[in-house]
Amino acid sequence: MSRAVRVAVFRPDDDRMADAVALLESLGTVVVPDPMLAVDPTGNVPREAGSDAGDGVDPDVVVLTSKTGVELLAEAGWSPGDAALACIGPKTAAKAREAGWNVDLVPEEYSSSGLVAALEGEGGSETLSDAAADVITDGVATL
């Protein structure tokens, strides 16, 4: 790198921060890590398959959009039941597999749009992230 570049990194203070800092430092940048993002679990989990909660209809597909969400669900003892499990990318899928869940779908494009495109034709779904981009919830509504 021919000139000094300073990069601020805003990630939770976990492996995501460490990975980002290591990568940027390897590229010769001056890194300013700021763990301004924090996870504040609510304790809520999606309804279990077969329960009477919500509309009483078991989802065909469960969508997970973050590895942190997977970790929180696993800690709460939640399971996708018989629903197909779709994960937004390989890190989310790896965490889901670590939790003992079968992952049925990981889109080729690791984005909200890629996930919606991959879900086309998969039937109904339940989105498990308040932070999921509107493109996921809007896209799933059209399936």
Token code pair at residue 116:
């919606």
Q: What are 29-80's pLDDT values in tens digits?
A: 888 888 877 777 887 777 665 565 555 666 778 888 888 889 989 998 888 8
Q: What are 2-34's pLDDT values in tens digits?
A: 677 888 888 888 888 898 899 989 988 888 888
Q: How far apart are CA 18 and CA 24, in angstroms?
A: 10
Using DSSP, state whether 92 is helix, strand or coil. helix
Token pair 């709460």 is at which residue? 76
Give the relative orientation of helices 112-119 and 134-141 as an angle to the nearest 10 degrees: 20
